[in-house]
Amino acid sequence: MGFLKIPIIIEENRKIIHVDMDAFFASVEERAHPQYKNKCLIVAPDPRKNHHHGVVTTANYNARKYGAHSAMPAQQAIELIPRDKLVIAPPNFELYRKTSDYIHNIFGEVTDNYQSVALDEAYLDVTENKLNESNTLKIANYIQQRIIRETQLTCSVGISYNKFLAKMASDYRKPFGRTIILGEYAEDFLRPIPIEKFNGIGKAMQQKLHDMDIYTGGDLQELDQDVFINTFGKMGYIMFKRVHGIDDSPVNSHRVRKSIGRERTYNQNLVLKEQIEKELNFLADLVSKDLKKQRQHGKTVVLKLRNSDFDTVTKRMTFQDYVQDKDEIYRIAKEIYDKLDISDQKIRLLGITLTNLDPLSYEEVSLNLFKTEDN
């Protein structure tokens, strides 16, 4: 494989803070309903009212003591918790988004160079910052204090010289934790940490590593670069660097997705109408799933085609109402295709993209939570 061997040189000239709100949805609910504070709170659609469906978005720390956690089926979570302690709150995404926006405005007062990765999580590059403060610990402290004072919510912060370590640090001590990883201690810090906690090691990689008798950061650090690359390809190379404390990825500020789309190139040109319809259906399904995952819907559907002469056409249709449903996206893409009147042409590329995107409102989102459960 075409990877160069890299000497381990640690660049420590950046100052990165990872902010992670503590049990965010649950904490926002506790703020709105203080009587929940001493209870075991599950933020989820109530499974008792939804044919046992629904997934836990967040559990508060009391509920976590009984083993409840996010992404768990809500039915399973409520069975773990004594009845007299249990509270189930349906998610109120509109409120979480509003609270998140407020917190992001605080980040914006510290630096324009921040990257939001979820409603409750962001990276800040404070190498240069608006506070003109060179002490990163003081900046992290300032952020924590402002958030708690102005929103009554706590967050945990991780401080380091790259994004990977900053995230590992914020996860190290929760809630209301503050952890710094300096370059000279990065490898020591990672050594005892179980691989499940490494950002970037998914379920499949975990399994494979366990099969190789690898359980901790220390085990990973003893692996050769070639083993990482031969076993896991490009991601292996990234992980090899990470376990040695190296991560050059930049903080991507204000990365707003303006469109969501999928396209495919075909080794064999598509000739038959049925083939094209089948592929459009497939692409519509992928795009619809991406939209749902990112809680977005759009008003414009763009169809892209390339024929066997490499001529490319894109045509769009815009609607009054938002589109997210797979069948609807397919129907529109098909309509655009039919209007182009090119059924005599051989097709080598097809793509469907949704633009004019907006986040879903609360009602639409909770509806989708039930739907995902059925899939």
Annotated binding site for Mg(2+): 20, 120
Q: Which of 15, 20, 116, 288 binds Mg ion (CB under 5 A)?
A: 20
Residue ranges for the known binding site are 20, 120
Residue 198: DSSP 8-state: S
Q: Which is nearer to Mg ion, 58 or 129 (CB)?
A: 58
Which CB sits closer to Mg ion, 174 or 334? 174
Q: Which is nearer to Mg ion, 30 or 305 (CB)?
A: 30
Could you say which of 12, 109, 121, 263 is catalytic? 121
C-alpha angle with apex 54: 53 to 56, nearest 5 degrees?
145
Segment near Mg ion (CB under 5 A); pick from 39-47, 120-128, 245-253, 276-284: 120-128
Instruction: Name the minimum Å distance from CB 27 to Mg ion.
Output: 9
Shortest CB 120 distance to Mg ion, Å: 4
List CB contacts of 47: < 8 A, sequence separation 6 or more.
53, 54, 73, 74, 75, 78, 88
Choices 12-20, 34-42, 54-62, 146-154 (CB under 5 A): range interacting with Mg ion: 12-20
Site size for Mg ion (CB under 5 A): 3
Local structure of 130: helix, strand or coil: coil
d(CA 145, CA 154): 9
Cα–Cα distances (Å) from 87 to 30, 77, 82, 212, in that order, read 11, 11, 10, 42
Which residues inside 252-281 make contact with Mg ion, applying CB under 5 A? none
Tell me the Ramachandran region of residue 318: left when phi exceeds 0, alpha when psi lies from -120 to 50, beta otherwise: beta
Which C-beta is closer to Mg ion: that of 103 or that of 243? 103
User: Segment contacting Mg ion (CB under 5 A): 13-21, 328-336, 349-357, 367-375?
Assistant: 13-21
Residues facing residue 316 across a β-bridge: 302
Enter the DSSP assignment of 2.
-
Residue 120 binds Mg ion (CB under 5 A): yes
**Residue 121 designated active-site:** yes
Considering the complex, state which of residue 120 and residue 247 has its C-beta at the smaller distance from Mg ion: 120
80: its two tokens? 């773990």
What are the C-alpha distances in Å from 196 to residues 200, 216, 231, 294? 9, 8, 18, 24
Based on the shown chain and the rule CB under 5 A, indicate whether residue 30 belongs to the binding site for Mg ion: no
Q: Which residue is nearest to Mg ion (CB)?
A: 120
Query: Where does this chain bind Mg ion (CB under 5 A)?
Result: 20-21, 120
Q: Give the residue numbers annotated as catalytic, written as ranges.
A: 121
